[in-house]
Amino acid sequence: MSKISEIEIMELGEEGEKSSPWSSTILILKMTTSDGIIGYGEAPTTLMTRPVYEQMKEVERIFKGAEVHNIKLNVREFYKHSFYLPVSMESTSALSAYEIASWDIVGKELGAPIYDLLGGKVREKAKAYANGWYNDCVTPDQFLKNAKDIQKMGFKAIKFDPFGNYYDYIDSKGTERARKIVETLDQNTDLDLLIEFHGRFSGNSAIRAVEALEDLEPFFMEEPVHPDQMESLARLRTRSTAKIALGERVLNKNLFLPYFVRDLVDIIQPDVTNIGGIMEAREASSMAEAFGIEVAFHNAFGPIQTAATLHLDLAVPNFIIQESFDMFWPDWKKSLLKGGYSIENGYFKLSGKPGLGIEVNEKIIEEFKTDAMESINKDEPSWVVKGTYKE
């Protein structure tokens, strides 16, 4: 077996806010073996770029010199040393980049795409939904204009947050406005509508907001309740039959189990770049399958994350739909990969090449290397789509 001999950790970004605020920077891992095989991984940022970058250096101390094929062993070795791993996004995110890069290398060495190493494909393509398409949308007409443009691109589904600058609490004025936005899109497009709450409401307000929208039968409602208020979510479930999705902030497959056994979720959204990598996301999906729950992987950062996630989409039986920001990234992020996957008429396809199947554009890496923190707008949280946190 070849050993991991060289590791390079790189932050990429562009001065000024030209992307979704939470992904204006990305962290890339370039890992090389003693045989000269290169693998790439990615870690998320979300106002945590520099802490995750530093934690990637800690993971390096475990992975460097290890046999690259021993993916599970290497992950468990870091788990042993990282005392706060199951609840530390810095640790799980850093680890994810190494795990993904390891799969990339192993696939290249074996001459197989990663999905073949996960049991093979159960589908040829993955249905996508567009996100990040509604910059500066506040009124129903603004949302509708942009949504029609997305429909013309071939997408069959969109996700959006209609709640403006409401946080924690929402009144009847806010729910009426949100309903008008959703109703306008429902009546004037053929798109599946996925409603993003961003985990912004406490229990009573989440119930109020969900009840205002549920008769419109959205495809799902994502994170209606603050993520640390599980009892509020349980109370909401007794009041509503709306399909609930969550999981981007669940950092370990075992931490999904309480949601399954208490029937608190219909669709889970593990993020391959913060749950611990491809295998942890795959195992979380298998646990969900046992409860008859579908999977719609969270995917908000960069193209290496997208490529890794697509291998799961094609291999996971209970996959249902895939998030995509690809069309709405700044140009540098769109150009980071020369190939690997495509999105056509609302569906993702993979290249079928070994490993992740991607080719990284080294010129983009050199041009956009940075060590800056993400930009921040004190009037608008980093987790919203730009220009929407308004009355």
Q: One-letter amino acid identity for 384?
A: V
Residue closest to 41 by CA, chosen among 85, 86, 74: 74
Query: How many domains in the chain?
Result: 2
Does residue 368 form part of some domain? no
Whether this prediction's pTM lies above 0.75 is answered by yes
Q: Is the dihedral of CA 268, 270, 276, 282 positive or negative?
A: positive
List pLDDT tens digits, range 322-355: 999 999 999 999 999 999 999 999 999 999 999 9
pLDDT surpasses 70 at 190: yes
230-239 and 203-213 are packed helices; what angle lies between their axes, rounded to 10 degrees? 30
Say if residue 176 is in the same domain as residue 228: yes
**Which CATH number is 25's domain given?**
3.30.390.10
Rounded CA separation 178/192 (Å): 16
Query: Last residue of a domain, which of 78, 113, 148?
Result: 113
Say if residue 152 is in the same domain as residue 281: yes
List pLDDT tens digits, range 149-160: 999 999 999 999
Tell me if 202 sits within 8 A of 228, measured CB to CB.
no
Instruction: Please list the active-site residues.
Output: 198, 298
Say if residue 50 is in the same domain as residue 138: no
The CA-CA-CA angle for residues 173, 177, 181, to 5°, reads 170
Does residue 375 form part of some domain? no
Report the mean per-residue pLDDT for the chain: 96
Segments of the chain assigned E as strands: 4-13, 25-33, 38-43, 126-130, 157-160, 192-196, 220-222, 244-246, 267-268, 294-295, 322-324, 337-339, 341-344, 347-350, 359-360
Say if residue 163 is in the same domain as residue 133: yes
172-188 and 203-213 are packed helices; what angle lies between their axes, rounded to 10 degrees? 30
Say if residue 122 is in the same domain as residue 108: no
**Which CATH number is 210's domain given?**
3.20.20.120
Does residue 366 form part of some domain? no
357: tokens are: 């199947």
Say if residue 253 is in the same domain as residue 351: yes
Say if residue 172 is in the same domain as residue 74: no
Rounded CA separation 51/49 (Å): 6
200: tokens are: 């912004």
Residue closest to 296 by CA, chosen among 267, 274, 272, 316: 267
The pLDDT assigned to 310 comes to 98
List pLDDT tens digits, range 40-84: 999 998 888 999 999 999 999 999 999 999 999 999 999 999 999
Q: Which domain holds residue 26?
A: 4-113
Query: Last residue of a domain, which of 88, 113, 138?
Result: 113
